[in-house]
């Protein structure tokens, strides 16, 4: 039995909580599409289908925000305390804005600082990181020139194993990340200036015209 608690029930449930909050709170200027895609492990099938048959014109999409595995924590007493690839108690990998957009990077840093002030780990916010491209659901969007922003707490020993169970997740940390992503999405959707890519997309990214 593969319950996939961290990969990726943690991201899917955060998406649900954010959608719920977005529905009940003040509406930002821009619309927000919430996606739960399948087939990611098989080859980003769901996301590839979305950008191939988008419900809105792709040029109208200002950014793609990806939440993939946010339940691990290299905290004392946690099952991930030895997991070199997992982030610390109040830390999350932020992937994309450092490579793609000084404008959006500044907005995210300010939003985070003025809110829960998580530590944004940038170890994978590099053009040569497979977590930047092409390993995650951000890939198909980036290939079409859309700004991508990814949040994850990283890989651990239970990755793609039957042991990926909910009892091992750090629920408090997951909540803090979900709240931060909510705030980030809200700020991007409501910003007067359109979020944009203002740095060059690395040549390693396949491009679709
Ligand atoms: Zn996976």
Domains of the chain: 5-190 (3.40.630.10)
The reported pTM is 0.97
Measured in Å, residue 39 CA sits from the centre of ligand 1 at: 9
What pLDDT is stored for residue 73 in this prediction?
Answer: 97
Measured in Å, residue 171 CA sits from the centre of ligand 1 at: 19
Measured in Å, residue 7 CA sits from the centre of ligand 1 at: 5
Measured in Å, residue 24 CA sits from the centre of ligand 1 at: 31
Measured in Å, residue 160 CA sits from the centre of ligand 1 at: 6
Measured in Å, residue 192 CA sits from the centre of ligand 1 at: 35
Measured in Å, residue 29 CA sits from the centre of ligand 1 at: 33
Measured in Å, residue 163 CA sits from the centre of ligand 1 at: 14
What pLDDT is stored for residue 184 in this prediction?
Answer: 98
Written as tens digits, the pLDDT of the chain (209 aa) is 999 999 999 999 999 999 999 999 999 999 999 999 999 999 999 999 999 999 999 999 999 999 999 999 999 889 999 999 999 999 999 999 999 999 999 999 999 999 999 999 999 999 999 999 999 999 999 999 999 999 999 999 999 999 999 999 999 999 999 999 999 999 999 999 999 999 999 999 999 86
Measured in Å, residue 198 CA sits from the centre of ligand 1 at: 30
Measured in Å, residue 109 CA sits from the centre of ligand 1 at: 27
Measured in Å, residue 42 CA sits from the centre of ligand 1 at: 9
Measured in Å, residue 118 CA sits from the centre of ligand 1 at: 24
Distance CA 193, CA 26 (A): 19
Measured in Å, residue 184 CA sits from the centre of ligand 1 at: 24
């Amino acid at each position: 039995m593969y319950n996939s608690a961290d990969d990726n029930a943690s991201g899917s449930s955060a998406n649900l909580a954010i959608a719920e909050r977005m529905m009940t709170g003040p509406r930002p200027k821009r619309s927000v599409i919430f996606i739960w895609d399948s087939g990611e492990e098989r080859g980003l099938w769901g996301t590839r289908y979305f950008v191939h048959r988008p419900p809105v014109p792709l040029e109208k999409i200002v950014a793609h925000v990806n939440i993939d595995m946010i339940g691990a924590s290299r905290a004392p007493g946690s099952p991930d305390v030895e997991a070199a690839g997992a982030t610390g108690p109040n830390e999350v990998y932020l992937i994309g804005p450092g490579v793609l957009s000084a404008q959006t990077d500044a907005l995210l840093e300010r939003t985070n600082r003025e809110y829960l002030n998580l530590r944004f780990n940038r170890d994978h916010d590099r053009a040569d990181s497979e977590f930047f491209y092409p390993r995650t659901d951000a890939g198909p969007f980036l290939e079409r020139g859309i700004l991508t922003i990814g949040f994850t707490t990283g890989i651990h020993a239970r990755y793609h194993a039957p042991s990926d169970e909910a009892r091992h997740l750090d629920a408090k940390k997951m909540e803090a990340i979900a709240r931060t992503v909510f705030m980030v999405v809200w700020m991007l959707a409501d910003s007067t200036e359109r979020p944009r890519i203002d740095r060059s997309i690395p040549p390693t990214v396949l491009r679709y015209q």
